Structure 1
Amino acid sequence: MPSTHAALHYHLVFSTKNREPWFEPHLRSRLHEYLGGILRTENGIPHAIGGTGDHVHLLAGLRPTHCLADILQRVKSISSRWIHEELRLAGFAWQEGYGAFTVSVSSLEKVRAYVLNQEAHHRVKTFQEEYVEMLQRGLVEYNEAHLW
């Protein structure tokens, strides 16, 4: 086969440090647009970006040449600098880790709707409940002491 073809889609989740609610609703759309721009600059595809005041969800298509850890490091680092300089949120920081879950093409639209509907979703379920469920559905081993 003379070329490489891949469908690599990820549901990425990360929180603010200590899950502090830094992002008022009027700031979220700017943040989400900026995060999408970072992904595009990295040659990724931002399918959907959503979140609440204390965390974000990215549904992204990445290339086979991407290293997931490097992409997340750049997204978090570049956005953190922008949040400090542009939004003037002194003291802001992202948490150290992240969640990354693969998404099948057949599930993209369902996950996209989920990512874009975070505010309504969190009226009935906390971020902690949501994240533990994602880990369990993804068969990801975790230590409760290291989650928060």
Structure 2
Amino acid sequence: MNDPGTFSQIYIQIIFAVKNRNTLISKIWEEELYKYISGIITNKDQKLIAINGMEDHIHILIGMRASCRLSDLVREIKKSSTNWINERGFAQKSFRWQAGFGAFSYTQSSLPNIISYIENQKKHHQKKSFREEYISFLKHYEIKFKDEYLFEWIE
């Protein structure tokens, strides 16, 4: 619950991948997954703005309240969605998200561009791999990283 005198407008894009970058998110049930994740975000009193992804990763844009701990929200999204996917037998094998995530902040004026970017993931990835995309985010935001701490890449 926010303090009545606290006002904020925080926009965060969250990116995380399937364990070992396995291509387990099927077009058949991805919309159901996005709706399920949307419910988690809403139940945590945050605002989902956009969600989309590929068979091996997901992008989520949220409007975040100042009282939210981002790592707790992402942990809950991953834990609950993993259980939901496995309970329904959606993946050919046991489904898991990789450890870690990327989080990138935006101004309100940049939202139309980032929403479009997220909505056009399938078209975007015809030209650029997830690895290239993720590293370009890290470099653009001047986030120092070591390759050994990035996602496990199977290429």
Q: 3-state SS of the aligned residue for 2:29?
A: helix
Which of 1, 10, 13 is the aligned partner of 1:11?
Answer: 13
Residue segments in structure 1 that go unaligned for 5+ positions in a row: none
Q: 3-state SS of the aligned residue for 1:131?
A: helix
Q: Hey, what's the Cα distance between the residues in 2 that align with 1:48 and 1:96?
A: 22
Q: Hey, what's the Cα distance between the residues in 1 that align with 2:47 and 2:146?
A: 31
Q: Which residue number corresponds to residue 25 of structure 1?
A: 27
Q: Which residue number corresponds to residue 141 of structure 2?
A: 138
- Kindly report which structure 2 residues correspond to 1:1-148, keeping only aligned pairs within 5 A, or say none: 3-89=5-91, 90-147=93-150, 148=152
Q: Hey, what's the Cα distance between the residues in 2 that align with 1:139 and 1:8?
A: 19
Residue segments in structure 2 that go unaligned for 5+ positions in a row: none
Q: 3-state SS of the aligned residue for 1:26?
A: coil
| TM-score for the superposition, normalised by structure 2 | 0.91
Q: 3-state SS of the aligned residue for 1:25?
A: coil
Amino acid corresponding to residue 20 of structure 1 in structure 2: N
Shift of 1:88: 3.8
Q: Hey, what's the Cα distance between the residues in 1 that align with 2:89 and 2:44?
A: 22
Shift of 1:21: 0.3
Q: Hey, what's the Cα distance between the residues in 2 that align with 1:47 and 1:86?
A: 26
RMSD after superposition: 1.1
| TM-score for the superposition, normalised by structure 1 | 0.95
Shift of 1:87: 4.2
Q: Hey, what's the Cα distance between the residues in 2 that align with 1:134 and 1:29?
A: 25
Larger displacement relative to structure 2 (19-28 or 46-55): 19-28
Q: Hey, what's the Cα distance between the residues in 2 that align with 1:103 and 1:50?
A: 17
